[in-house]
Amino acid sequence: MPEIENIRDVQRNFLNKLQDQGKSFNTIKNYRTDLECFNQFLFARQKGEHLRDFNQEKVKEYTRFIDNKYNSDNSKRRRVQALRLFFDFLVQKGYFSENPIRKIPVSPKVLEAPNPTPLLDVVKLHRYLTEQVQGNQGLSKLTALRNLFVFHLIYGAALKVSDIAKLKLSSIIESGNDYRVLVTHPKRDSYTIPLFESFDSFYKQYKAELEKYSDQIQFENLLFNANPYRILSGGLSPRGIELSFKEIREKLNIHLTPKSLRQSCIFRWLGEDVSHITIKEWMGVTPGYSLNPYLKCLQDHPQDFHFVKPEQFSLQ
């Protein structure tokens, strides 16, 4: 069997393979974090990167290591799953004859309770983004419109940041005054999600402002990355979206992440009596995915999980 000279090089090859398979930015980032946990174990227990000696006894040591390191059953489960896939990769490359991680029992996934952005914070966020559009000119106004666009994509269509980062101008489908966003994935059929009624006038404004910078735009991306002076590139990375949310969250002192705003959208759909089958399709999950944590929140505290469209914000 070939020797593993540098474990980090092998892990980098494993992550590159996941990227080639079309795994999302966040998925690859999570795998990298999970493998770094394993590296910490190796360095602490074995004083080096000696994978060859990772036998059944070491497997038991590693399970105790993650049991002591993490309280969340889902965190422990994810670390084991990531390592299992990594060792499958090592077996395929001939570094191991069998996968020692297959001996670790995997606990069932625990469905955590959603923690959405409260409606009052959603309204505050939308008001702030709208005021930024109205109170700026030039590139600052276009950037404000871009941020409002991201709001529409998450609170309007529950898109993940990894999906938003890949959107093209052609991803917005127009039919009269109705708009839908087209979501594509490498391993399943594409689907569309309807956007708010108020999206019409907003989108026309965004396109008109974007057209003013046509000399700087050599891309097909729906969004863009910019500094205060010029558009730098097409597309807005998942990390870029998360940093924008962090900046706004700290400025407004609200509960806000892309994930929490996405959960607010899912509660809104449930409140609008959208069928569960349709919601799962729009979320991009399998039909077997359980909406029970959301339904339990609605059953126990319906007043805390009531969400409406922007057209109704003035009533809040």
Give buried/exposed letters for 156-172 (b at 16+ CB in 10 A, else e).
bbbbbbbbbbbbeeebb
Q: Outline which parts of the chain fall under CATH 1.10.150.130.
A: 7-103
Which class is domain 7-103? Answer: mainly alpha
pLDDT digits (tens, 9 = 90+) for 45-59: 554 456 766 777 777
Q: Is 19 a residue whose pLDDT tops 90?
A: no
DSSP structure class, residue 196: -
- pLDDT for 122 equals 97
pLDDT digits (tens, 9 = 90+) for 124-148: 999 999 999 999 999 999 999 999 9
Count of alpha carbons within 13 angstroms of residue 253, beta-carbon side = 0
pTM for the model: 0.73
Q: Outline which parts of the chain fall under CATH 1.10.443.10.
A: 119-315
Share of the chain above pLDDT 70, in %: 91
Is there a contact between 154 and 268 (Cβ–Cβ < 8 Å)? no
pLDDT digits (tens, 9 = 90+) for 240-255: 899 999 999 999 999 9
Interval 82-95 mean pLDDT: 87
Q: Is 39 a residue whose pLDDT tops 90?
A: no
Average pLDDT, the chain: 87
- pLDDT for 48 equals 47
Q: With both helix axes pointing from N to C terminus, report the angle between 56-69 and 73-92 in degrees, rounded to the nearest 10.
A: 150
- pLDDT for 229 equals 84
Outline where DSSP puts E strands in the chain: 172-175, 178-185, 188-194, 224-226, 231-234
Q: Which of 63-72, 101-110, 117-126 has the lowest mean pLDDT?
A: 101-110
- Both structure tokens of 274: 């959208």
105 pLDDT band, cuts 50/70/90, is low
Task: Choose which CATH entry (2.60.260.20, 1.10.10.10, 3.40.50.2000, 1.10.443.10) describes domain 119-315.
Answer: 1.10.443.10
- pLDDT for 125 equals 97
Residue with tokens 């708009």: 179
- pLDDT for 289 equals 86
